[in-house]
Amino acid sequence: MRIVIMETGSFGVPTVKRLYESRHEIAALVTQPKTENKTRREPLPEPEIVQLAEAHGTPILRFPRIKDPEAVAALRELNADIFFICDYGQILSPEGIQAARLGGINLHGSILPKYRGSAPVQWTLLNGDAEAGATVIHITPEVDAGPMLSIVRTPVEENETADVLEVRLAELGAPEVLQAIDALEIDPEHLAAAVVQDASLSCGAPKIRKHMAQIDWTLSAAEIRNRVRAFEPWPRTFTTWQKSEKKPPMRLILLPVPEILSMEVPEGTVPGTVLEVGDVLAVATGNGVLGIRQLQPAGKKPQSVFDFLCGNAIQPGDVLK
């Protein structure tokens, strides 16, 4: 099969590596235009997928707008049997999808149809799901809504963060993509066996925003813990502590994943109140107590709570916000 890769991020990299090792031909990589470092006015380092394509001598195409007629015409000229589209960053028009003989397939980082959108792994953790997965779908103009060719499932580990889970799902999904391509090569009618998604089961997985990372201590300990897991490595969950009225609040990033302590919250305690101070910082939440073992002040390296307390006199009764 003659395959054109359309990717900018890293989720599809394990799949592309396997495709290079297979009998299939990678005709080109379509990726986003280069972006400049806003502070230094120079191009940022090339993404891993671009470096991989360059190492194999694969032609690289960059289109500011993939829906432009010129871009669609260029896609047609590639004479692809199929597109592998993953973490690309632009949405193809119907004409763009049809530029390949069999259209396109996508590897999505969730068990569809539940989490359609740009942040499926993060929302899997935010909602405390016990199971995660990756789905291979046939591309349609509606985002993440195409019929499903295969699904791979895996339990979510207790302390797993989004960056770790995403890598795991990318690796688990790679052989599923190859199997789908192999099946389509043998029989293009294999597409007819794809399972149509039930849109009523989708709750969406919209883009994560930076403001979401500040802890709302009225949430339960379990919900806050899930946010720490979901927002690693970005935007990273944080709280603030004010040493005194004369000093501005100090931003504190929570890392690694905090634990839920078997402590009772005294009646009338304001969520965010520090209950105990020691090797672990025990903080009251809307439901339960969160145990924090490590903090990272803004602009500094992570440090244990014990080390942090050497220069910062957090006391029981202080309120984190």
Contact 150, 137 (CB under 8 A): no
User: Is residue 39 predicted with pLDDT exceeding 70?
Assistant: no
Q: What pLDDT was estimated at residue 38?
A: 63
Residue type at position 293 = R
Q: What pLDDT was estimated at residue 128?
A: 97
- The phi, psi pair for 83, rounded to 5°, reads -100, 140
| Architecture of the domain spanning 210-311 | Roll (3.10)
Q: What pLDDT was estimated at residue 193?
A: 86
The secondary structure of 42-102 as a DSSP string is EEPPPPHHHHHHHHTT--EEE-S-TTSHHHHHHHHHTT-SEEEE-S-SS---HHHHTTSTT
User: Is residue 226 predicted with pLDDT exceeding 90?
Assistant: yes
- The predicted model gives 126-134 an average pLDDT of 97
User: Is residue 287 predicted with pLDDT exceeding 80?
Assistant: yes
pLDDT band at 37 (very low <50, low <70, confident <90, very high): low
Q: What pLDDT was estimated at residue 243?
A: 79
Burial pattern 204-240, b for ≥16 Cβ within 10 A else e, equals ebeebeeeebebebebebebbbbbbbbbbeeeebbbb
In this structure, what token pair is assigned to residue 51? 């470096």
User: Is residue 28 predicted with pLDDT exceeding 70?
Assistant: yes
Which strand (E) or helix (H) includes residue 319?
none
Q: What pLDDT was estimated at residue 98?
A: 96
pLDDT digits (tens, 9 = 90+) for 167-197: 999 999 999 999 999 999 999 888 888 999 9
User: Is residue 40 predicted with pLDDT exceeding 70?
Assistant: no
Mean pLDDT computed over every residue of the chain: 94
In this structure, what token pair is assigned to residue 165? 């889970």
Alpha-carbon gap, residue 314 to 215, rounded angstroms: 18
Q: What pLDDT was estimated at residue 41?
A: 65
160 in helix, strand or coil?
Answer: coil
pLDDT digits (tens, 9 = 90+) for 111-121: 999 999 999 99
Q: Is the dihedral of CA 203, 208, 209, 210 positive or negative?
A: positive
- The predicted model gives 47-51 an average pLDDT of 96
Per CATH, the homologous superfamily of domain 2-201 is Formyl transferase, N-terminal domain (3.40.50.170)
Instruction: Look at 21-25, 34-38, 177-181 and tell me which has the smallest mean pLDDT.
Output: 34-38
- The phi, psi pair for 125, rounded to 5°, reads -75, -40
- The predicted model gives 106-129 an average pLDDT of 97
Peptide bond preceding 147 in cis form (omega within 30 of 0): no
Alpha-carbon gap, residue 25 to 155, rounded angstroms: 34
pLDDT digits (tens, 9 = 90+) for 66-91: 999 999 999 999 999 999 999 999 99
Percent of the chain with pLDDT over 70: 98
The ranges of the chain annotated as CATH 3.40.50.170 are: 2-201
Alpha-carbon gap, residue 20 to 30, rounded angstroms: 16
Residue reference for tokens 């969160």 = 290
Q: What pLDDT was estimated at residue 299?
A: 86
In this structure, what token pair is assigned to residue 113? 């149809």
220 in helix, strand or coil?
Answer: strand
pLDDT digits (tens, 9 = 90+) for 228-257: 999 999 999 999 998 777 788 999 999 889
